Amino acid sequence: MLADGLSATDELIGKVKSSALSEQAKYDVLHELDAKRTQFNDALALSLSVSLDANITSDQTKAIPDQTRGFGRIDQPTFPMAIPGQKFRVLVHVADNGNTPVNLDSSIVELNGSAIPADSNAGRTSGQIDGGGMLNTLFTVQIPENSEYTRPYFNRPSIDQSYYDVRKPEYRNLPLAPYPLQAKVSLSYHGAHFEMSEAVQTVQREVGAGTVNEPLPIGPAISLTMLNSAGVLPLDKTSIPLSVKVHNNVNGPAQGTVHLDLPTGWKSAPANQPFAFAQDGQEQIATFNVTPAAVQEKAYQIAAVATYANHEYKEGFIQIGYPGLRPYFEYSQAKYQLNGANVKVSSTRQIGYIEGSGDDIPASLENLGVHVQFLTRDDLATGDLKKYDEILVGVRAYAVREDLRTFNGRLMDYVKNGGALVVQYQTPEFDHNYGPYPYSMTSNPEEVTDEHSVVTILDPNNPAFKWPNVITQKDFDGWIEERGSKS
């Protein structure tokens, strides 16, 4: 019945396309018929118990896959990411797990929509598959040198831009662009033609989960990431440390160098750092000591550049997603944003820090020469807080630190005894009078998210704005995201 329904739907689609209906009417009818055809197609494949697997195969010596054993599911780990220029083989495995024969009409692998033919020595690439049987086909894939990386079809150049640019409008209604390598097969049963497709998979081993199949992405041979993305540079600073994480995606050894693109007159020691990897997935930290020149109160930018196999790499990625979901990759330029500031700090003061969520403030303080000691649960419960000249409470700490809420009374005693406590940006979890004065944020605190809104200092002569550094309205220039947010 499903085969008859699919054939009838195909016949009706053909009649509608050749009919005298208006273009709008054709569009409306075909939209509904295409949805119905997809339902018949998928239901027929399920009822016949036909399965499709497409995997990178690590067995590069086997010319013709074994058609009589379960050679479809690859369980040996393979490389996790293909890189431009790489060549490898893909095994497409079609199995009839039911009792009824089906016919495999064609089998192809597509790279970004372009078909790749089966290997000339791949053996039988079409024909009848008996119940309980299978048909394996090998394809040789070479990733072109100019291939794009697997990344979202939307992006924004920096956090300063409040909206995303759509690079590929054809994917606008999809959550993410399709993976680049797809296996597609056409089958027939009792005159009905149906299709199946699957992203080509890579095989990884994970602790606990065991063998995990994930779609194969395309990415750079070398991935670069700055360990810190931004910082403050005092005008009298004579040197700053800077570290770059280098990640290898080459399926084998890789050697190259990393250097920094610096503002005019600036220098780094060393001028470049070599890296050497034995296999994919390995990482190395390249550390530089940067000497600024004639620092002014303005923005500076430092970029990391890796050189490997006569190619330069200037960006890196992180894998996004959750266990059980197909992974995807978010890219960012390997750049470090510095802002020159007329600020002076004491390096001898003892600073305690209660870290919050997504908290990058400690790294920024290190840029200024302020070294902090992170306070643990035991420190908050029984530690000697009097030894700290100041204690800083990190971003959203009251939302994520149960120990902070539990032992907040000790912080209030620290304040009563003359200690200085600075509480940074918090969310409504702070609404329990955790401070020394009554405070109410409510569940819907107002925010000012317009970067053009003017900040007015109501009491510019207040000591907080005069010592140890003078703070004026100019210090709020360039503050883009959420100029006034909650507390």
Q: How confident is the model over 32-56, as a mean pLDDT?
A: 96
Q: Identify each DSSP E strand in 230-293 by its residue range.
A: 230-234, 240-248, 254-261, 267-269, 272-277, 283-291
Question: Which one is predicted more confidently, 207 or 202?
Answer: 202
Q: Which domain holds residue 392?
A: 351-445
Among residues 314, 341, 368, the one where a domain terminates is: 341
Residues 187 and 298 in one domain: no
The confidence score (pLDDT) of residue 361 equals 85
* pLDDT score of 487: 44
Pairing mode, strands 372-374 and 351-354: parallel
Q: What is the mean pLDDT of residues 194-208?
A: 90
Residue 95 has pLDDT above 60, yes or no: yes
Mean pLDDT of 73-86: 84
> Quick one: angle between helices 23-47 and 2-17, nearest 10?
160
Least confident residue range of 23-37, 87-101, 334-348? 334-348
Both 125 and 240 in a single domain?
no
pLDDT at 425: 85
Does position 250 have pLDDT exceeding 50, yes or no?
yes
pLDDT of 405? 95
- Both 290 and 371 in one domain: the answer is no
Q: What integer best gives the mean pLDDT of the chain? A: 89
Distance CA 258, CA 274 (A): 6
* Predicted local distance difference test score (pLDDT) of residue 225: 96
Q: What is the pLDDT of residue 62?
A: 57
Both 197 and 333 in a single domain?
no
Q: How confident is the model at residue 485 (pLDDT cuts 50, 70, 90)?
A: low
| pLDDT band for position 65 (cuts 50, 70, 90) | low
Report pLDDT digits (tens) over 423-440: 998 888 888 889 888 888
Residue 60 has pLDDT above 60, yes or no: no
Q: Are residues 245 and 358 in the same domain?
A: no
Asked if the model's pLDDT at residue 71 lies above 70, the reply is no
Q: Does residue 2 sit within a domain?
A: no
Report if residue 331 sits inside a domain. yes
The whole-number average pLDDT for the span 372-389 is 96
pLDDT of residue 204 exceeding 80: yes
210 and 248 co-located in one domain: no
The count of other CB atoms within 10 Å of the CB of residue 268 is 19
Read off the pLDDT of residues 102-148 as tens digits, 9 standing for 90 and up. 999 999 999 999 999 899 877 677 899 999 999 999 999 999 999 99
- Boundary (domain end) residue, out of 341, 366, 384: 341
Range with the poorest average pLDDT among 52-66, 85-99, 226-240, 272-286: 52-66
Higher per-residue pLDDT: 414 or 121: 414
pLDDT tens by residue, 140-193: 999 999 999 999 999 988 777 778 999 999 999 899 999 999 999 999 999 999
450 within a domain of the structure (yes/no): no
Query: How, if at all, do strands 102-111 and 50-56 pair?
Result: unpaired
Residue 462 lies in a domain: no
The CATH number of the domain holding residue 295 is: 2.60.40.10
Pair (186, 137) in one structural domain: yes
- The answer for 273, left when phi > 0, alpha when psi is -120 to 50, beta otherwise, is beta
pLDDT surpassing 50 at residue 77: yes
Q: How many domains is the chain built from?
A: 3
Q: Do 196 and 52 sit in the same domain of this protein?
A: yes
Give domain status of residue 451, yes or no.
no
Check whether residue 275 and residue 418 sit in a common domain. Answer: no
Residue whose C-alpha is closest to residue 217's, from 147, 164, 146: 147
Does residue 63 have a pLDDT over 70?
no
Q: Do strands 299-308 and 335-341 pair parallel, antiparallel, or not at all (unpaired)?
A: antiparallel
> Average pLDDT for residues 442-469, to the nearest whole number?
82
Residue of higher predicted confidence among 285 and 358: 285
169 found inside a domain: yes
Where does a domain end: 215, 230, 259? 215
pLDDT band at 419 (very low <50, low <70, confident <90, very high): very high
Taking residues 198-211, report their average pLDDT: 86
Does residue 15 fall inside a structural domain? no
Same-domain check for residues 199 and 241: no
Residue percentage of the chain with pLDDT more than 90: 66
C-alpha pair distances (Å), 194 with each of 7, 34, 102, 126 = 9, 13, 11, 14
Please determine, for residue 72, whether its predicted confidence score (pLDDT) is greater than 90: no
208 with 299, same domain?
no
**383 found inside a domain:** yes
Where are the strands (E) in 389-477, listed by range? 390-393, 420-423, 447-448
Instruction: State whether 69 and 185 are in the same domain.
Output: yes
Give the pLDDT of residue 58: 67
Q: Are 309 and 448 in contact (CB under 8 A)?
A: no
